[in-house]
Each structure stands twice: as structure tokens, then as C-alpha cells.
Chains A and B, each alone.
Chain A
Amino acid sequence: MVKALIVKPEDTVAVALAKIPAGEKVSLVLPSGEAIQEVMALEEIPFAHKIAVHGTGRGEKVIRYGEVIGLAKEDIAKGRHVHVHNLQSSRFA
């Protein structure tokens, strides 16, 4: 199964360790290598890009490294590709 790296368990996004085709199941692994969860990709996730590991409402915080990396510009469903089209900086929006 394709893997995505999730840095902290509380992160709302994980990073694809290979290109993930739409409809594929993804295994979420921690830095220790432990797999903690599976998510189905709703769309293609390019290599090294982010996948939502649970739903985030419009205006809510997107978390990576256990820190806020920005706010959702729209509702982001679990399994969606998270990037500049639906995520913006929380500091300079």
C-alpha cells in the first residue's frame, strides 16, 4: 500500500511518499514507522504533496508538524489533495 508520512498524530495532513492515484487506500505512518490509520485518496495526490487525513471546515486550521501551516479556504474532505487551491497562510491571508 502507498504510504504517507504524518509527523505528529494530531496533524490534519500527511505527505505522500509516492504518487497516489485517485481511489487508492493510503497507509499513514509516523516517523517511527508505525502505521496508525488508513485513508482513501478522493483524487490523485502528486508525489510529496499533502493529503487530508480528516475533514477540515472552511476557515479551520490545517496542522502539519503539530503546528498551524494555514487555514482552509474551503471545506476540505478527508482524502482530498491539500495545496494552494484550498489552503492559505494564516498570517498573510
Chain B
Amino acid sequence: MNRQEGSLQFWGYERPDGSVGIRNYVVVLPMTNMESDLALTVTREIGPAVTPIIHNNMRMRLPQDDAVARRVLIGWGCNPNVGGIVLLSDGRNNVSPEEIGDEVAKTGKPVERVNMMAEGSYAKSLNRTLHLTRKILSKTSRMQKALCAASRLLLSAECGPSISLNGVLGNAAVGKVFDAVISAGGRAIISETTEHIGAEHIMAERAVNEEVRKKYLALIHRKEEFLKSLKVDFRGLQPTPWNIATGISTLEEKSLGSMEKGGSTPLVGVLEYGERPPAPSGLYFMDGPGMPPPLVSGLAAAGSQLRITSSGGGQGFSWRTDIGLTGGMPISPSVYVVSLENENEPDEGEYYDIISGVLKGTESVNQLGERLLQEVFEAASGKLTKQEMHQNHPSFQEIQFLHPIIG
């Protein structure tokens, strides 16, 4: 971490639109599941310099879900960690590569498109995609990093498996990192809408003005009504028996523990799933599920360069399943902080970036937060996170759609 004149800085890739990437991926992005095979074949051919994003958009969705797909695919392309992008279309998609590409091209990044129907054969499509991907690679691989202010960061947070202590340890440390980055002029996003149901009065008090307060409460209410329409009373389900066994007594207590990730600054804005926040510094709330894979898809679409995953921990044995659980979104690396050390897993350091020493008595919660802040800035400057070093398979990204396929 570079501290210059009291400010936090990191080494990143400055994009033509003023955003800053902490990685420099060339992404091959299929519009739907139909072009996944082509994307994976291109990746196998060119190697790890290319990142495919394989996901669950497909044809025959309702118009409101086409809008979700459009927002998320544009958001992924605009994410500052993406240096250039090749969009693949079969020619019969629910979202067109023209509309996605035109929006992404506004950032000034190189954008290319391959229309398989127009190419006329799979072999021609493959050759064309390989050519265009290599063309972009020769541009992005020349880019140099520059020293950037913390104000250029858009952090985000998610929870892994929760226990009573998360709220006061890992989540509290995330909150301290958010406070530090926001006070330096940066932005941060929390989400997990269902974690807020029942304790929305607390976050509503933090809204910077009446408009934000109303928007936040309306969003929580909308999610609750949606659950009711499915005959689910979410308020009756929380806290879960697992939460109670670990010491959480009430819904408010569980929600407060989750909200600790948001630190202590005012809530300045409310976003739809995958919506990019405006420029002003501060804490934003994005509509999203608690389950990480669709959550991290939305956070990456919102433009977050770096995510912090906070978990109870003590589950090193399940690291490989944790990648599935916490989401392996390739364009948004995650720094993983765990609250508990597991005596039975001496190699936990192989899996997690930061293991709390509070229970061992080797540090205070504030010191844990300071250590996490340093790790976040090192990761922002290019240090590979444990997740990046362990993820050796192309992950599948779940986009949160509202409705099933209807056609």
C-alpha cells in the first residue's frame, strides 16, 4: 500500500473513460449460452491471456428479463478490469451484440463482434474470433499501470457462510475498509436485499436524504411483496436454526451483523441489480440476492473492481466448494477474510487472504481492519488473491433473472 501525503494509492490501468482497472482482462463474451462453446474454444486456443464469461442468459425470456440481461452484459463489458472485449452472437439472441457493443464502446475500449450467422460456418466464426481476440490482445498487453488515488476504487462486499461472530470480526473489518476508501473519495456497494428485510429501518436511518431513504425502503418492500407472491413469508424464516445455534437471537441482530460490512458512512444511493452507480463518493445499496454466485455477477456488472468476501471460516476443507459458493466471477477478484481459525486446517493460509487473529488475542478488531485494508490495496495493485490462484477452471456465472424461461 502506498501512503502519500496521507492518501491511499494503488497501481492500476487507466481507461479512456476515466475509470481504473486493477486487472487487464480481454474478455470473450457470448450473448447467450449458445455461443459458450465458441468462447471456450477460443480460450483453449489462445490460453490464459483470454477470459471467457460463460453465463445463463438465453433466448425466450420475458422482456423485463431481457432488460436485466442487457444491463448485466453491458455492465460486465464496461467493468474497468476489462481492457477489451469480443462479443459473440449466434445471430438469434434476445440481446443484440450491436446494442451491447455500442454501449461498451462508449468507454473507449476496443470492442469487436462476431456474428456466427453472418460468418456462415463455425470454422469461419472460430477463425474470425481468434483473429479479433489476438488483435485486441496486442493492444491491451502494451498498456502500462499508473499510480492512482483510492477515489478511483469501487469496492463491494459479500458474505460467505455466517456465524454470530462474523458481524463483529470479518464484517466489521470490511466496514472499516469501506469507511477508509469512502473517506478517500472512493465508492463501495453492499447488497444482499433479503438480509435487510426486517431491519430496513436501521439502514433507512443512514440515508443521506429523503429521496434515497424512500428508494431504499421501496426496494426492500418490493422484494418482500415478490416473496409474498410466491407464498413465502421471509420474516418468519429468519434467523435460521443454524444462525440460532451459533448465537444469533433475532432477525434484527442477524441483519445488523450483515450491515456491518457497510461501515458507518451515510447511504448515498440505491441501485437496481447490476446497475452502475453514479460518480459521487459514498456507500451504495444494490438490489441483489444473498446467495453469492448471482450476487457477484451483479456486483461485477455494477463496475466493482474488487470484492471482499467475509466468512465465518473454519472450512478450509471446503475451499473448492467455496469457489462455487462465493462465486468465481473472473473479472472481479475477491479478497477473502475469515473470522475463525480452524485448528484442524493448518493450511488455511493457502486458501484465505486474511485470517482474523482476534480470537487468538494477537490483534484487535481495528488492527484486523487495517490489515485487510493493506491487503485490499496490494490486491488492487496486482497481487493475486488466493481465489485467483486457486481457480483453475472457467466458472459459470449466474445472472439473477426474475422469471423462468417462458417460450
Interface presence of B141 (CB below 8 A): no
**Binary interface encoding of chain A residues 1-22 relative to chain B, with 1 for a CB under 8 A from any of its CBs, else 0:** 0010101000000010110000
Q: Which one, B249, B251, B256, B365, contacts A92 given CB within 8 A?
A: B251
**Shortest Cβ gap from A83 to chain B (Å):** 5
Interface presence of B260 (CB below 8 A): yes
Residues B241-266 near A (CB distance < 8 A): 244, 246-247, 249-253, 256-257, 260
- Quick check: B250 and A89 within 8 Å, CB to CB? yes
- Quick check: A65 and B247 within 8 Å, CB to CB? no
Q: Which residues of B contact A70 (CB under 8 A)?
A: 249-250, 252-253
**Shortest Cβ gap from A55 to chain B (Å):** 18
- Quick check: A91 and B252 within 8 Å, CB to CB? yes
- Quick check: A92 and B358 within 8 Å, CB to CB? no
Interface presence of B172 (CB below 8 A): yes
Interface presence of B212 (CB below 8 A): no
Q: Which residues of A contact B358 (CB under 8 A)?
A: 5, 17
- Quick check: B252 and A90 within 8 Å, CB to CB? yes
Residues A27-78 near B (CB distance < 8 A): 29, 31-33, 46-50, 64-65, 67-70
Q: Which one, B252, B253, B361, B364, contacts A32 given CB within 8 A?
A: B364
Interface of A is mostly: loop
Q: Tell me the complex Cα distance, A18–B361, Å.
A: 11
User: Which A residue sits closest to B256, measured CB to CB?
Assistant: A65
Interface presence of B219 (CB below 8 A): no
Indicate whether A48 sits within 8 Å of B246 (C-beta atoms), given known contacts A7-B168, A29-B364, A31-B172.
yes
Q: Which residues of B contact A82 (CB under 8 A)?
A: 249
User: Which A residue sits closest to B205, measured CB to CB?
Assistant: A67
Q: Which residues of A contact B64 (CB under 8 A)?
A: none
- Quick check: A92 and B253 within 8 Å, CB to CB? no
- Quick check: B253 and A5 within 8 Å, CB to CB? no
Q: Tell me the complex Cα distance, A75–B198, Å.
A: 25
Q: Which one, A15, A33, A91, contacts B165 given CB within 8 A?
A: A15
Indicate whether A87 sits within 8 Å of B249 (C-beta atoms), given known contacts A15-B168, A48-B165, A69-B256.
yes
- Quick check: A7 and B164 within 8 Å, CB to CB? no
Q: Which residues of A contact B198 (CB under 8 A)?
A: 89, 91-92
- Quick check: B164 and A49 within 8 Å, CB to CB? yes
**Shortest Cβ gap from A12 to chain B (Å):** 12
User: Which B residue sits closest to A49, measured CB to CB?
Assistant: B247
Interface presence of B359 (CB below 8 A): yes
User: Which B residue sits closest to A64, measured CB to CB?
Assistant: B253
Q: Which residues of B contact A32 (CB under 8 A)?
A: 364-366
Q: Tell me the complex Cα distance, A90–B257, Å.
A: 16
- Quick check: B249 and A69 within 8 Å, CB to CB? yes
Q: Which one, A18, A69, A88, contacts B359 given CB within 8 A?
A: A18
Interface presence of B97 (CB below 8 A): no
User: Which A residue sits closest to B253, measured CB to CB?
Assistant: A69
User: Which A residue sits closest to B339, measured CB to CB?
Assistant: A48
Q: Tell me the complex Cα distance, A66–B244, Å.
A: 21
User: Which B residue sits closest to A68, measured CB to CB?
Assistant: B252
**Shortest Cβ gap from A70 to chain B (Å):** 4
- Quick check: B256 and A67 within 8 Å, CB to CB? yes
**Binary interface encoding of chain B residues 214-229 relative to chain A, with 1 for a CB under 8 A from any of its CBs, else 0:** 0000000000000000
Q: What is the interface of chain B, defined by CB distance below 8 A to chain A?
A: 163-165, 167-168, 172, 198-199, 202, 235-236, 244, 246-247, 249-253, 256-257, 260, 358-359, 361, 363-367
A-B contact pairs, 21 of them (CB 8 A): A5-B168, A7-B168, A31-B366, A32-B365, A32-B366, A33-B366, A33-B367, A48-B163, A50-B247, A65-B257, A65-B260, A67-B252, A68-B252, A70-B252, A83-B244, A83-B247, A88-B250, A89-B250, A91-B235, A91-B251, A92-B251
With A48-B163, A82-B249 given, name 13 new contacts (CB 8 A): A18-B359, A48-B164, A48-B246, A48-B247, A50-B247, A64-B256, A65-B260, A67-B202, A67-B252, A69-B249, A69-B253, A70-B252, A84-B249
